[in-house]
Structure 1
Amino acid sequence: MICPLPSSGIPPDDLLDLIYHYKALLIRQLYLWYRGQEAIVDHLLHRFVLAGRIFRNSERVACNADWLSNGNPAYEMAFWALLDFRDSVEYQLPGNHGITISAFTENGEYDFVSVLPGHEKSTSDVVQAQREALGQRLVIVVQNPDQIPLITIHPVAAYCVVSPDGKTTYYTTAKEAAPCQPPTSAS
């Protein structure tokens, strides 16, 4: 006898909204966002797939099949950093005008900007032109520490280096070699 898994603890619309906001996220990221409730996440994802609301492969879930093959690297990188702030996040949404993700936390607003390799100058130009309109806590997310000196956005609360496996390391300045914890206030 198969018993349906109760979905208490995760409102189905919240999970669906998260997937729709970011178009494609890794299933591991959803597990971390709803940590301790992985079985419920799997159950809801299965139900959404059967209803035709989302698409899923072995590692990624998406609201559009076109996004499934390679996802959205900028959102994926920024979401790893956002997970570090998960316990204090009150509201989050994809950003505009160069901001990848905006998050409102108990410590104030954070803007996460993903800078893909080779896009340091163009992303810097777009974000710096809008810098005064952005929050004071700007976290620049990169794939490699070598990208940090190529970025010309100021001021920045921290740089977050995301490894291919999703591990995050924070630097408060481009010159500082020692990693720091996720910043709770602008420096």
Structure 2
Amino acid sequence: MKTRAQIYEREAAALLRDISMYQVMTEGQLLRLHPGKKDKTRNLLAYLVRQNRVWQVDDFYCAAQDSLENMDRGLLAAVWVLTDFIDQVEYHSVGDYPAKIIFFADGEVYEIVHAAQGKEVLLSHVLADTGEQPSRYLVLVDDPAQIAELMIPNVNGYCTVSPAGEVQYYQKEGA
């Protein structure tokens, strides 16, 4: 007979992996990354907080007590974009600059890239040279007006994320 710990071990490990990887997450993000497991996820989060394996600070679950002070707002927004695709995602992880998140879906590699205000030229330059197997880019912008300034190949779409986590998608005209 399995113990409760053995039954929930896999789900707890998945939550810990996500929080450790992304450092700061909201409950809403965690619930969307683990669809159909709302009550189980909430119970496990409460358990992990009681065990001091994750920290709850305001509305955020953090990998360390000081994670909120060093929060990467671009990464937090990119997680919301990832949650929109979670039903097709086979694997996801933090990415190397300039990607915030890299994920595999439907046999394709996607990178969620954050174009911070004022960094459009730099980002366009960094992503201008695509390798042999270029990724597909989802470009997260702070303001839709930035889209016209970006010259990036292999962009599947542009998006913004509201403070509440609502993702709005855009296409470049003429693309």
TM interval, shorter chain, is 0.7 to 0.9
2:155 aligned counterpart, secondary structure: coil
Structure with more strand by fraction: 2
Give the alignment of 1:119-134 within 5 angstroms: 119-129=119-129, 131-132=130-131
Q: Identify the range of structure 1 (107-116 vs 19-28) with the bigger mean alpha-carbon deviation.
A: 107-116
2:31 counterpart SS class: helix
CA contact (8 A) 1:25 1:71 kept: no
Q: TM-score, normalised by structure 1?
A: 0.80
Q: What is the CA-CA distance between 1:70 and the residue it aligns to?
A: 6.3
Give the corresponding residue for 1:59.
59
Task: Name the TM-score, length of structure 2 as normaliser.
Answer: 0.85
**Is 1:169 matched up with 2:162?**
no
Q: 1:117 to 1:32 in 2, by over 3 A?
A: same
| Structure 1 position 151 matched with structure 2 position 150 | yes
Unaligned 5+ runs, structure 2: none
Which one-letter code corresponds to 1:53 in the other structure? R
Measure, in 1, the Cα distance between the counterparts of 2:21 and 2:84: 19
Structure 1 residues 64 and 135, CA, compared in 2 at 3 Å: closer, same or farther? farther
SS across alignment from 1:80: helix
Q: Does 1:32 align with 2:38?
A: no
Question: Can you give the 5+ residue segments of structure 1 that lack an aligned partner in the other structure?
Answer: 177-186
Count, aligned residues: 172
1:160 correspondence with 2:159: yes
1:137 is the counterpart of 2:114:
no
Q: Structure 1's 100 and 56: CA in aligned 2 closer, same or farther, altered over 3 A? A: same
SS of the residue 1:114 aligns to: strand
SS at match of 1:169: strand
Distance between the aligned counterparts of 1:147 and 1:8, measured in 2? Answer: 44
User: What residue number does 1:13 align with?
Assistant: 13
The separation in 2 between residues aligned to 1:28 and 1:128, in whole angstroms, is 34
Q: Confirm or deny: 8 A CA contact 1:10 1:40 kept in the other structure.
A: no
What's 2:47 paired with?
47
Query: Which residue identity is paired with 1:63?
Result: A
* Secondary structure class of the residue paired with 1:100: strand
- Paired amino acid for 1:85: F
User: How far 1:75 moved relative to its partner?
Assistant: 1.0
Give the aligned residue type for 1:149: A
Task: Tell me the secondary structure at the aligned position of residue 18 of structure 1.
Answer: helix
Structure 2 matches for 1:74-89, cutoff 5 A? 74-89=74-89
**Equivalent AA in structure 1 for residue 156 of structure 2:** A
Give me the identity figure in percent: 27
CA 8–64 in structure 1, closer or farther in 2 if over 3 Å, else same: closer
Task: Output the CA distance in 2 between the equivalents of 1:133 and 1:23.
Answer: 32
> Per-residue displacement from partner, 1:99-146 (whole Å, max 9, x unpaired)?
1111011241111101222322233333335x3266341110112211
Asked whether the equivalents of residues 12 and 44 of structure 2 are also in contact (C-alpha less than 8 Å), the reply is yes
Q: Distance in 2 between matches of 1:123 and 1:52?
A: 38
